[in-house]
């Protein structure tokens, strides 16, 4: 089947009143300057406070958003940075040697990992948000959640400094599960290299995806965050996919047609799309719809003229806008994603994740729904 993919713009323009009261108060207690014992600061580089870039000073202090107001994105150290060499030491020589190695290389920053461009793009959005709403803490809050031991802490902090990242919150759990902390931070999205942790997060209702390191990575925008989602079992539940897998394509079409006006149930990433939408509306409210630094995409195997309708109706009923919906009607996703150049693409099927990665797109696997049973049967080579 090689139908041309059809682009459908979601044309709804909602009227939104964003009052100043919804922007949050600046926190007095965060305005106090930190007292640092200068003799003991052994960190190699101090962050350069370039105005207009990373830190925003609010009345003399540095601004940390409240977890309930921010869109919290938790990343593990293995997806934010490349740590293959260290992983090998751990696997071959054990944990004591691994920690010794880390401490020995403490002043060597890690190189960027698969989630790095995504995090940089989140920060670019934050810059724009701060320009428009300087007092608001409705921003992206990037938290490093790793089950590394704190021995690695100094190296991670040095690396964050080196790359000029704005990450001020972290949990180094020293081996215990980070899931409780994800909930405590009110995490909106968790990215990790460990599929078990991701599955655990999903089962606790936290949007999560597994990321992989790939050698081929195409360049992405530094000024506009682009997030692409698969439909079934990512934004929506896997109910339709179940029908397709059990009864085939015809039955799937029939089912979708019969249920066109029934909303699909929500999937694990719906909440994250919602959070992105809320931030987008802040730009629209200031007349920046065309220049919005956040852009969202639906990339689905559904067909525009038939099964896609149910997807669009569902999104509309949820009040969620998606900037571009691409109905591929079964065509491969790789080439389309290569055109879009998203910072991250979420799909529940490893087949698509790998296909995307082959063309240089950073794709994250959402281990949810019926497709996972089939994934387990396939011999998947996870690129590390």
Partner 1 sequence: MVSTIQNTDVKQKEADRAVVVAVTSRAVFDCGVDDGDEVCEVGVAFPLLQVLQRVNERLEISRFCFSSEEDFTESLLKNNVHLFLTTDRDEAAQASQKGVFSALLNEKVASSEQLRVVFCEDAVIRTDTEPPSASQDAAQSFWAQLGEMRRRFGVLDSPLSLLLLTSRGGRESCGAALQTLRSRGLNMDEAYCLAGAPRSPILSLLRPHFLLINHLED
Site for partner 1, rule CB under 8 A: 27, 29-30, 32, 34-37, 39-43, 46-47, 62, 64, 66-67, 95-96, 99, 149-151, 153-154, 157-158, 160-161, 167-176, 180-181, 184-185
Residues annotated catalytic, as ranges: 230
Distance CA 266, CA 83 (A): 35
Supply the minimum distance, in Å, between the C-beta of residue 2 and partner 1: 51
- Crossing angle of the two packed helices 95-104 and 153-162, in degrees rounded to 10: 40
Comparing CB distances to partner 1, the nearer of 4 and 34 is 34
Comparing CB distances to partner 1, the nearer of 176 and 262 is 176
Task: Look at strands 140-146 and 71-75 and give their pairing.
Answer: parallel
Comparing CB distances to partner 1, the nearer of 134 and 174 is 174
Comparing CB distances to partner 1, the nearer of 171 and 350 is 171
369 backbone φψ class: left, alpha, beta (φ>0; ψ -120 to 50): left
Cβ-contact 179, 201 below 8 angstroms: yes
Supply the minimum distance, in Å, between the C-beta of residue 160 and partner 1: 6
Comparing CB distances to partner 1, the nearer of 180 and 335 is 180
Supply the minimum distance, in Å, between the C-beta of residue 265 and partner 1: 30
Task: Look at strands 71-75 and 81-82 and give their pairing.
Answer: unpaired
Supply the minimum distance, in Å, between the C-beta of residue 59 and partner 1: 15
CB contact set of 361 (below 8 Å; sequence gap of 6+): 218, 334, 337, 338, 341, 342, 345
Supply the minimum distance, in Å, between the C-beta of residue 170 and partner 1: 5
Distance CA 108, CA 156 (A): 10
Cβ-contact 44, 363 below 8 angstroms: no
Distance CA 343, CA 40 (A): 38
Rg over CA atoms, the chain: 21
């Amino acid at each position: 089947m090689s139908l041309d993919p059809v682009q459908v713009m979601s044309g709804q323009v909602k009227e939104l009143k964003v009052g100043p009261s919804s922007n949050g108060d600046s926190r007095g207690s965060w305005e106090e300057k930190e007292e640092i014992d200068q003799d003991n600061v052994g960190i190699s580089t101090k962050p350069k406070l370039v105005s207009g870039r990373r830190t925003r000073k609010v009345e003399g202090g540095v601004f940390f958003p409240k977890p309930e107001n921010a869109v919290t994105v938790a990343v593990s150290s293995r997806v934010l940075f490349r740590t293959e060499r260290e992983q090998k030491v751990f696997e071959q020589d054990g944990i004591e040697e691994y920690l010794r190695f880390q401490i020995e290389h403490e002043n060597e920053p890690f190189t960027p990992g698969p989630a790095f461009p995504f995090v940089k793009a989140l920060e670019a959005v934050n810059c724009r948000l701060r320009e428009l709403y300087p007092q608001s803490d409705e921003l992206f809050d990037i938290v490093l959640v790793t089950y590394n031991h704190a021995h690695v802490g100094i190296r991670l902090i040095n690396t964050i400094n080196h790359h000029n990242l704005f990450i001020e919150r972290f949990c180094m759990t020293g081996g215990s599960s980070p899931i409780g902390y994800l909930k405590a931070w009110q995490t909106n999205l968790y990215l990790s290299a460990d599929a078990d942790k991701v599955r655990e997060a999903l089962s606790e209702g936290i949007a999560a995806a597994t990321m992989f390191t790939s050698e081929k990575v195409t360049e992405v925008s530094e000024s506009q965050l682009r997030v692409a989602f698969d439909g079934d079992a990512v934004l929506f539940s896997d109910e339709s996919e179940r029908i397709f897998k059990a009864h085939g394509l015809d039955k799937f079409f029939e089912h979708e047609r019969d249920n066109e006006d029934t909303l699909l149930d929500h999937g694990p990433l719906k909440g994250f799309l919602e959070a992105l939408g809320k931030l987008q509306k802040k730009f629209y409210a200031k007349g920046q719809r065309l220049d919005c630094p956040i852009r969202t995409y639906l990339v689905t195997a559904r067909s525009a003229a038939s099964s896609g309708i149910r997807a669009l109706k569902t999104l509309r009923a949820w009040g969620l806008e998606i900037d571009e919906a691409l109905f591929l009607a079964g065509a491969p996703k790789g080439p389309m994603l290569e055109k879009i150049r998203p910072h991250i693409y979420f799909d529940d099927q490893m087949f698509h994740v790998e296909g995307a990665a082959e063309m240089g797109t950073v794709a994250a696997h959402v281990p949810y729904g019926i497709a996972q049973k089939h994934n387990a049967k396939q011999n998947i080579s996870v690129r590390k």
